[in-house]
Amino acid sequence: MTEPTRAVAQGTFDLLHPGHIHYLEEAATYADELHVIVARRANVTHKEPPILSDRQRQETVGALGVVDAAHRGHPEDIFVPIEQIDPDVIVLGHDQHHDAAAISETLADRGIDCEIERASTREPSHDAELLSSRAIIDRILKQRG
């Protein structure tokens, strides 16, 4: 009996939208199981911090049918969950700022044998559709602020 293959996807996943679903559904096609690492608020430094707690974002992502397990990210070392999950493939998001080559190098240094893929972009399917947590927040502020 061969072990199920595992894919990892990751992100902040503050206010969920169809872009997240597109990314996770695509990431899930790379392996038998999809494991998602949800970024800790403290590690989201490249943009404004999420509105929702680490726990709420992890539990919401974990409830999605396409996700086999949602993990709260490690506070300091982003490769600790990778060592624990031991994935066959890491699927980067279409706009994620990580450099695939740099990740590959660290994986090799840490003896982790894992492919790296980049997911595609989901474009809006209608004018009013928002495919960004930030844009959803902006609309809330505009309409309710």
Ligand X SMILES: Nc1ncnc2c1ncn2[C@@H]1O[C@H](COP(=O)(O)OP(=O)(O)OP(=O)(O)O)[C@@H](O)[C@H]1O
Ligand Y SMILES: Cc1cc2nc3c(=O)[nH]c(=O)nc-3n(C[C@H](O)[C@H](O)[C@H](O)COP(=O)(O)O)c2cc1C
Known binding positions for ATP: 12-13, 17-20, 95
Based on the shown chain and the rule CB under 6 A, indicate whether residue 96 belongs to the binding site for ligand Y. yes
Q: Hey, what's the torsion of the CAs at 111, 34, 136, 59, to 10 degrees?
A: -100
Based on the shown chain and the rule CB under 6 A, indicate whether residue 19 belongs to the binding site for ligand X. yes
Q: Which does 132 bind (CB under 5 to 8 A by kind): ligand X, ligand Y, none?
A: ligand X
Q: CA 88 to CA 95: how far, in whole Å? A: 21
Rg (CA), the chain: 16
Based on the shown chain and the rule CB under 6 A, indicate whether residue 132 belongs to the binding site for ligand Y. no
Q: Give the residue with the Cβ less far from ligand Y, 114 or 127.
A: 114
Q: Which does 85 bind (CB under 5 to 8 A by kind): ligand X, ligand Y, none?
A: none
Q: CA 85 to CA 45: how far, in whole Å? A: 24
* CB 44 to ligand Y: min, Å: 5
Q: CA 94 to CA 23: how far, in whole Å? A: 8
Q: Which does 94 bind (CB under 5 to 8 A by kind): ligand X, ligand Y, none?
A: ligand X
Q: Give the residue with the Cβ less far from ligand X, 58 or 133.
A: 133
Q: CA 22 to CA 26: how far, in whole Å? A: 6
Instruction: Select from 6, 35, 71, 122 the one that contacts ligand X (CB under 6 A).
Output: 122
Q: Which of residues 21-50 bind ligand X (CB under 6 A)?
A: 22-23, 47
Angle at 126 between CA 121 and CA 127, to 5 degrees: 105
| 118 membership: H or E segment, kind and range | strand 115-118
| Chain residues that interact with ligand X, rule: CB under 6 A | 11-14, 19-20, 22-23, 47, 93-96, 119, 121-122, 131-134
